[in-house]
Structure formats: C-alpha cells, structure tokens
Structure 1
C-alpha cells in the first residue's frame, strides 16, 4: 500500500539544516529574572541553578507577577471559576468579561470592546468576519493579520512598510487596473473596484523592528479612498497615553474604525480584544467564528488583564518603562552597537544570521536572555537581537545587560 502519511522527521531535519529549528525552554518565572532549562521533550524539566536576566519578554510593564494582578486573578477564580465553561454565547459571558471590556473601551475611547481568547483569534476572526474584497496590508504586519486575510479570501495588496505614499499609489493602481475595466465588471457580475469594500490594516508598533506606523497619514489615505482603517495595537496597548496605544497618543480614535490588541503583553494576561462602535461589536458577536466557536476567556485571565490595565493607567509603570528604554538604548549605542526602532522594542542590528546566533549565545553565556531574530522572520541580511526591557528592570540590571553586550559583541567581532 502506498504510504500517504507525513515524514515529519525529514521535515524537522530540513529545519535544522536551515538553522530554523526551534525548541521550548522551560522557565520558573515570567519576570525580569528567571531560571531556565533545556527542552526535556516528554520528560520533566530540570532548571538551571542560576537565574538569567530576561530581555526577551513582552511583559513590558512587569505586571505579570505583580501581586495586585495575581490577586485579581485569584479572586475571579474563587468567585466565578477557573474557566468560562462554554462559549460566551452559551453560558460563558460573565461579569468579569463585561468589566474588562468596559475598561478597554474607556482606555481606547471607543463605544464598546469585545474580548477574544487570544490576539490571534481577534485578528483572524475580525478580518474574516468583515470579509473585505481588498485588504491593503503593511509589508511587516503580524502573521495573524496575514492569516486573517487568507481566511477572508480577500485580494491582498501589500504596501511598503510604514509608507503612506506607497499605499496611496497602490490604491490608485487598484482603481485604474484591470478590475476596473468593462470586461472585468462583466466577469464579476457587474461589479467594479468602485463597489469593492477596502480595509487598510497595520500594526501600530511592529514587534521585530520597533517601528511605529504613521497612523495619521495612513488615516488620510484611507479616508481619501473611502476605506476603513484597522490598527493592531498588540505591542502598544498599556504602554502609551493613559494606558492606550498609538491611536490614543495621536488622537485618532474617531478616524480608526477598528482598534485591536492583545491582553498578553503589557497587560500581563492572555487573550485579545477589538474596540470600536457598538455595531462593530454586535456584528462580531454574531459573525466572528473565532469568537462564536471558542470557549470564553478564562475569568482569571480577564480579571488579571483588567487590573493590569488599571495599573497601567494609574501608576508610574509607563514612566518607569520609558526611562529604562532610554537608558538601555543610550548604553547600547555608547558601546558601538546599532540600535533601531522608536519604541520599547530595541532591535540591535547585526546583519549576518550566523553572527546574530553567535551573539545571542554569547549573551546567554553571560546570563542575558535576548533572542536572535533571523530570516525568514526578517529579511535576509537584517538579522538582529531583539531587546525588550521591562519597567521592573533595575539600574544595575540594565548596566549588566549593556556590559554583557559589549563583551559578547567584541568577542564575536561585531564591534
């Protein structure tokens, strides 16, 4: 009989050959310090005796093990239960979920918000439910946006990263291209590009580059074409003005139809959300398959995110984060490293894949966890170390990071 299964071992060997193999690294904490251990496969992990400094997490405000956030999660589990138990359309819609959504809507200056089980589910479910004819997508958008476009079966037009001028030109070409001809209208049942629904989608803070989208200019272009603008604030939520994102920093709430983000980064929990009009939320409750057919977010996760958002808005955590970002950027540049980005994400550019991997390993030898980011995650020749400080890193810990980079970079010859 012909073998119709899958040669997974060959596929894994191929990944190893291309330096693309990944494994899990068990840890004992998600804070600024943690003890790690090698991937044991199916066995139980054995952690290292010494802890390492973590400059790789998205726990930007350091709230994931804050006692107030932990207590909020514990209270929700005690009162409501450990899990939602069903889709929110059945019995899983609790007061904890509604409280979280009210807090998000307030921070995002929106009529309503809706919590999903993950940021990935929020992106995929929202784009697929909207079912746009055309999506204009930034070249460096997150994979969940790309997958949402695939599920929507939309025509995807990729515009140059953070380039409103290129977006406008591509919209103009779409309007005057083959789809606008009489022949295309007949083939499409009498429709033309003028009848198409258009969605512009962009991250606000890009996770691997640390760049920030020019949202005001993108809104200008979208409005000139009658398109909707959707902004993924995954790496911005909680970190900017009043705990909001770049949309709030730039005062664009009335010009961005869909604000989206995660609860798993600065908000120290799990899940995702969208924020926008009442009609948007009602529509997604009915049409977003990743919402309809998923068990509701765990009550403890919802409560933890709600408390983290409250702390992001009412404490000095954001100010502490930006002080640490500025200090770490300055220190890394002072030792001769090229630091890109304009956010809390600090990519240290190395260029060569092998050098980036070697630098990451040399940093690990010095007790610093900071991953090498290499193709295909980033374009060829742009490998880098992704550095992400937390608000809770101390001044000595930041200094230790800079010193480790200086020693490691000199050791492998990149400075």
Structure 2
C-alpha cells in the first residue's frame, strides 16, 4: 500500500453523489455578465451573450462603481498594489487606518481592525479569544465552525435562531461552569436562508450569564442604518462585544474586520495569528472599501436595493414560490435536488444566472435557488428575472 492521496477517487465519489462542482468564470463583476464553463488551467472563453447575475453578494453594485474603482487606483499609485509585509512590520499604512476609523465610526465602537479575509477574521478572533465554551447557532458560517475547532473550544450548538434552546443550554452549563469564559456566536443575516438572528434576545441572555456576544455581520454590513448592519438597526452596538464583518460583499472590496473595544483590538493585533502572520490587506482593497462605505452611508443605494427586494419577493410569491427570510437574500425553495438544478439550468438558458443550492450546503429536502439582487439592477431586469423563473418553472413541471 502506498501513502499518497487518491484524489481522482475522491472526485469520482463526489461525482457519484451529485456533489461535484465546477468553476464558472464571469467576465466582469456587474448586474449582467458573460459566463464561461470551467477552463481548468486555460483561459476562459466567453462566447455566450451576457446573462443577468442574480447570484452575487455585491448587493449595492459598487464593485463596478467608478468612485470605488478610482479610490482603489489612487491607492495603488500612491501607496502600492500590496502592503508588502504584516501590519506589525511595515504593512500598516494610512489607507488601513482611514478604513478602520470609518468602520469604528459606523459600528459605534472604539476601534476596528481589518484582516485579509472574512474567513481569516473569524478564525483569528475565535482562536485569539480562546473561550472555554462557544455557544454557536446551528447555521453559522463555516468560518465560525472552523474557528471554534481551531480554538479548541468546547462548542455547544443551539437550534437555529432558537433563544429558548440557547437559554436551556446556558442554564444547564451554568450548573457546573464556574470560572469558564463563554462566547455566544451568531451570524446576523444567514446567507442561505436570508433570515435574521434575534440579536436583542441574544444580548439579554449574554448579559444574564455574563457571557460575551459575537455577531458576524458579513451579509448585513453596509445595508442598514448609516451603512451599518443589524446591530445598528437594532441599536445594540453597546451590547455586542465583538462585531465582525466582511469588506467583500456590500462594500465591494476584499477583507474582513472586527469592531469593538480598544482592549479587544489591541489583543487581536497581538495574538490573532491570521492577522499577525499575514501580509496586510492590499491598499487598493482598503481604499475601495473605505469609499464604498462612504457611499453606503449616503443611503441612495440602500433604498434602491430594498425597493428591488420588495418587488422580487412579491413577484416570486405571485408565482407560488416559498421565499424564506426577510432580507436581500431571497431563497426560492424548490425542495428536490434534481428539480432545483434543472430549474437553475433553465434559468441560465433564459439569460439569468442564479445557481441552485443543494445539500450538504442546505438540509435535504430544502434545495433552492438563492436570488441575490443588486441595487444596480434595473426594473426591466427584475421583471426579466421573474419572467424567466415563471417560464423555467413550467418547463421543469414545477407549476
């Protein structure tokens, strides 16, 4: 027997289970773009006409905004295309500091710290805090799950958005957990269901047990009050100990952030390995995120997005679909895995890119089309998306 890795067999197993995925290059980040099949190691060939993209997390459509692009270009010229070193060495620039001040102001905290990605942020924060016990929502992002594992923390998973279940688990643990450090962790907006965590009730429970509360605002940052997230919408900035988010979704750049107290940021900048041992965020990304946050705080893009979301939700329900959640993420639940993938293919044939989401990403029997509109979609594009869904549904026998 050898000691290598039979990756072909692993891929074949995924193929047999219907779980193998392929890269799908897009020509540009925009409300419409041409797509290409996976070119493997070659150059993608964009032969098809443009498709409407209803599957990106560029919620405010700022990745193609000239103001954001200009900010990135200026930073590249004036500061450099890369930070060149860890922030603790020579990679800390005025561009980074401006971004962190803007985030802290938006999130209502003393300080903020930016990381190279959202994944690196969650892993870095959780391992640096090193809690004895983490109470984690059942549908938290994979980066939270991995962060708990890397931290070596005992992880208690509570039912999704179920504060009664969390309260019971906290009470049970409290009977023998004297002296332990506890961290309650939740996404604010859940990426596959589009629903919102009950942050006020979670804050009450964290206060009752003198635990810390950490909220991942990846899919909320930039979309609510003054460019903030659900924490800001609910007025909870002074009750959430760790506010985390990404710069790569509504803020159209790259990276992640933590906002909190002076002590938290100082601790993370000294102990979080994914910060200490990573090159600083590229200055163009930091400058782009700063400008995008300024635009998000102005509010016009946010208002346009929510108007589009309301029209899409109404149209989808008129078509007879179950649409979950209450946010800009619109999960169109189909149920059957094969039907979902057939529907996604029919949509693509009609010029709408909205991939199917299937197990294990979502539970069995809840396969779905995940629609994510952008503020830059036109009214006609929204109606085209709805028409395509209606036609595709009839073709696959769903209606």
Alignment TM-score > 0.5, same fold: yes
CA distance in 1, matches of 2:362, 2:42: 33
Partner SS for 2:387: helix
Q: Which residue of 2 aligns with 1:219?
A: 203
Partner SS for 2:178: helix
Alignment of 1:254-273 (within 5 A): 254-273=238-257
Give the conservation status (yes or no) of the 8 Å contact 2:227–2:299.
no
CA RMSD of aligned residues (A): 0.7
CA distance in 1, matches of 2:376, 2:310: 14
**Normalising by the residue count of structure 1, what TM-score does the alignment of the two structures yield?**
0.95
Partner SS for 2:221: coil
Structure 1 residues 376 and 369: CA distance shift in structure 2, 3 A: same
Alignment of 1:90-129 (within 5 A): 90-129=89-128
Partner SS for 1:57: coil
| Superposition deviation, residue 315 in structure 1 | 4.2
Aligned to 1:306, which of 286, 290, 293?
290
Are 2:55 and 1:56 equivalent residues in the alignment? yes
Q: Which residue of 2 aligns with 1:85?
A: 84
Q: Which residue of 1 aligns with 2:73?
A: 74
CA distance in 2, matches of 1:155, 1:77: 43
CA distance in 2, matches of 1:49, 1:67: 26
| Superposition deviation, residue 49 in structure 1 | 3.4
- Residues 125-145 of structure 1: per-residue CA shift (max 9 Å, x gap): 000000000000000000000
**Structure 1 unaligned residues grouped into runs of 5+:** 181-192
| Superposition deviation, residue 371 in structure 1 | 1.3
Give the conservation status (yes or no) of the 8 Å contact 2:193–2:331.
yes
Aligned to 1:232, which of 211, 216, 221?
216
Alignment length, in residue pairs? 399
Partner SS for 2:101: helix
Q: Which residue of 2 aligns with 1:146?
A: 145
Q: Which residue of 1 aligns with 2:6?
A: 7
Q: Which residue of 2 aligns with 1:164?
A: 163
- Residues 26-82 of structure 1: per-residue CA shift (max 9 Å, x gap): 111110000011111111111123000000000000000100000000000000000
Q: Which residue of 2 aligns with 1:326?
A: 310
Aligned to 2:378, which of 394, 407, 413?
394
CA distance in 2, matches of 1:227, 1:354: 44
Q: Which residue of 2 aligns with 1:186?
A: none
Q: Which residue of 1 aligns with 2:338?
A: 354
CA distance in 1, matches of 2:343, 2:26: 21
**Normalising by the residue count of structure 2, what TM-score does the alignment of the two structures yield?**
0.99
Partner SS for 1:195: coil
**Structure 2 unaligned residues grouped into runs of 5+:** none
Partner SS for 1:167: helix
Instruction: Find runs of 4+ consecutive structure 1 residues off by over 3 angstroms.
Output: none
CA distance in 1, matches of 2:109, 2:174: 32
- Residues 150-189 of structure 1: per-residue CA shift (max 9 Å, x gap): 011000000011111110001111123xxx2xxxxxxxxx
Q: Which residue of 2 aligns with 1:382?
A: 366
CA distance in 2, matches of 1:344, 1:43: 35
